[in-house]
Amino acid sequence: MGKAKKISLILLIIGYIAAGINHFRIPAFYISIIPAYLPYPQILNTLAGLFEIAFGLMLIFRPTRKIAAWGIVLMLIAFLPVHIDMLYGHTQVGATQVKPVWVWMRLFFQPVLILCAWWHTRSS
């Protein structure tokens, strides 16, 4: 595995475990950005947190890395409606109003994150 791929793997591991933990540390933040048309936001938040932690841990081990990377790709695609919904003015996150520039930046980086995870579905 090349240096760049190792660095991206470490960043994915740390990022997804940390993000997953945050779903439990500050659930109100994540629940507040779940679009109203999706049912059971508390359950969706819990599932997202569990899957992010699980996929982050699975990335550590070579035998489960490919499955985890595909899981992250699918999860990032599934999260796209949340980010798109925020473009339509649903930018209130708790007491904070998210500026449109941050929403656009997140949408811009979504394909980058998908490609990074996809890279780890490929053999080293």
Average pLDDT, the chain: 91
32: confidence class by pLDDT, cuts 50, 70, 90: confident
The per-residue pLDDT for 36 is: 87
100: confidence class by pLDDT, cuts 50, 70, 90: confident
Question: What is the C-alpha to C-alpha distance for residues 3 and 58, in angstroms, rounded to an integer?
Answer: 20
94: confidence class by pLDDT, cuts 50, 70, 90: low
| Residue 97 DSSP SS3 | strand
Compute CA distances 29 → 10, 19, 22, whole Å: 25, 12, 9
103: confidence class by pLDDT, cuts 50, 70, 90: confident
**Residue of 93, 66, 79 whose CA lies nearest to 12:** 66
92: confidence class by pLDDT, cuts 50, 70, 90: low
The per-residue pLDDT for 90 is: 63
Average pLDDT over residues 61-69: 97
**Of the ranges 15-24, 34-43, 73-82, which is most confident?**
15-24
Instruction: Work out the percent of the chain whose per-residue pLDDT is above 70.
Output: 94
